[in-house]
Amino acid sequence: MKTPTEIKMTIYDCSECPQHKVERTPRSGYAVDYYCKITGNKVAGYIEWPNEMPPVPNDCPLRI
């Protein structure tokens, strides 16, 4: 039987998380929306540049 391994990551925003999904914002040109694969919630919308990403939300299920 396999035993789980705990992995800790230090990330600054959801774009660095392996559990994020990106979709193009409808009718927006280059902007994208970021979604959490675990919760299905949109964590950031209409992001055109990496510096526009908000920090990891407090309700993140992976947050320690």
Q: What pTM did the predictor assign?
A: 0.84
Q: Dihedral through CA 37, CA 43, CA 49, CA 52, nearest 10?
A: -150
> pLDDT tens digits for the chain (64 residues)?
888 888 889 999 999 999 999 999 999 889 999 999 999 999 999 999 999 999 999 999 998 8
Q: Which two tokens stand for residue 7?
A: 């992995």
Cα 34 to Cα 13, 20, 31, 39, 62, distances in angstroms: 10, 7, 10, 12, 16
Nearest of 10, 23, 3, 2 to residue 62 by alpha carbon: 10
- What pLDDT does residue 34 have? 98
